[in-house]
Every structure is written in structure tokens, then in C-alpha cells.
Amino acid sequence: MGVIQVDREIDARGMACPGPLMALIGAIREEQVGTVIAVLSSDAGSRTDIPAWTTKAKQELVDVEDADGYVRFVVRKAR
């Protein structure tokens, strides 16, 4: 698998729920279709909230990567 080119990264570490999800939603509103957005979250709730929201919103969850004390979600704006 090739390296995913991220167009915009949001560091939402330290934000409490629902901060990281709302930051992602804000970025989806602002960006063009096709843009790849990475969200870094240390909030445990994001692990369920962000994948559930991308499914509901018909956005593409490209990658979920565990890091030291946080999770990096990579989402492509699909529509």
C-alpha cells in the first residue's frame, strides 16, 4: 500500500469529546471533494465516533493509525 498523501492535518489532541469529531466536520465543510484530511485525537470516544460519522456521512475513512497516546484518522472527502 502506498503512502497516503494528506492535504490537511488537524491536531485535535487534548480536545475533549466531541471536539475532534467537530473539527473533522468543520474541515469537511470547508474543503473540496477529494481532499484528504488527517485528524489526531487523544479522546477515547473518537475511536467509535469518527468511524461511525464517516459511515453515516458517506465519507471515506482511509486509515486509522494508532500512535503514542493518540489515534490518527485519515478521511477523504467523498462528496
Residues in contact with another protein by the rule CB under 8 A: 15-19, 21-22, 25-26, 28-29, 45, 48-49, 52-53, 56-58, 79
28 belongs to the catalytic site: no
Instruction: Give the whole-angstrom CA distance, residue 63 versus residue 18.
Output: 20
Give the nearer residue to another protein in terms of CB position, either 32 or 48: 48
Largest CA distance in the chain: 32
Q: Tell me how far, at minimum, the Cβ of 79 lies from another protein, in Å.
A: 7
Give the nearer residue to another protein in terms of CB position, either 5 or 30: 30
Instruction: Give the whole-angstrom CA distance, residue 72 versus residue 9.
Output: 9
Q: Can you read off the three cell numbers belonging to residue 6?
A: 494528506
